[in-house]
Structure 1
Amino acid sequence: MDTPFGGKPIVFGGDFRQILPVIQKGRRKDIVDASLNSSYLWDYVTILKLTVNMRLCGIETDVDTRSFAQWILDIGNSDVGESEDEVIDIEIPQDLLITDVDDPIGSMISTIYPDYFLNLGEEGSYLSSDSICASQRDAGFNNELYTIDFLNSIEVGGLPKHNLRLKFGVPVMLL
């Protein structure tokens, strides 16, 4: 009998309710049909459910934090909201809404990062690596063509520039 992936165990991680395939001009049915749990592979999957919110585990949390975590789980389990024609209306609690209509982005930043603009320190420079991989140097490349100035001038979409200047204390998200 042929087994998927040559019999090797494969771990699929994530919440499949939140990570859906992208189907151009697809309807809800098309997207659901293309998802992993609609695949023939799903018959071979063993589902392990995580039941403990590790962000809340072992720390003292207030009632608001626990109720928010439960609300998020309830949304994922479709236990919140009213369904009408495959559309579920969910009422967002008032304390989660951004009510500043004049500057919603600024309001969101000040809510997520309180005192963000007050606590930044001096600026620091972070430089990229400016050498060629050792295995490439030994492969017969003409190292004279790849000067440090040339390497530092390369700008590729999706990568930071050679000289990344950030203020100390600025939040940075790496993807």
Structure 2
Amino acid sequence: MNGAFHICRQGNPDSMYTLFGGKIVVFGGDFRQILPVIQKGTREDIVAASLNSSYMWDYVTVLKLTVNMRLCDVDDPIGSIISTIYLDYLLNVGNPEYYQQREIFSPTHEVVTTINDRMMMCLEGKERSYLSLDSICASQRDADFNNELYTTDFLNSIEVGGLSTI
């Protein structure tokens, strides 16, 4: 028996007979662009292995976000997001649990930086930067490694796509 279904059975004895144990699951993305990898597979093999072709697709309800209702007719969308998600954040500056229960998803690092900067402006006190020692791991270097190409400034300028920081 699958462990996930066993856990779900505590509240719902029929969960082992329902898809995902009766839990609501949200799939995101464009399934035409996010295809499974099938080694040496043909186009037909890949399409047949996609979520749209799965037996589960019959149980899926497709919803499309057309309007971000939180931001309709708002002059300051970033401020609106911050005030909605972090309503009392100035009262909870020293409370890590407050921040662990909240998050903002962002499509780009630029939006994350904008939100971080706006929140930092609202905090009292002097801003401090804590720097790390950034370098290339010695075990990853080969004989042709040029240490001058990978300065700390260069390493700190790299932004990894797909990872939000807030």
Where is the strand percentage greater, Structure 1 or Structure 2?
Answer: 1
Greater C-alpha Rg: 1
> Which category describes the TM-score, using the shorter chain as reference length?
0.3 to 0.5
Q: TM-score, normalised by structure 2?
A: 0.37
Q: Which has the higher helix share?
A: 2
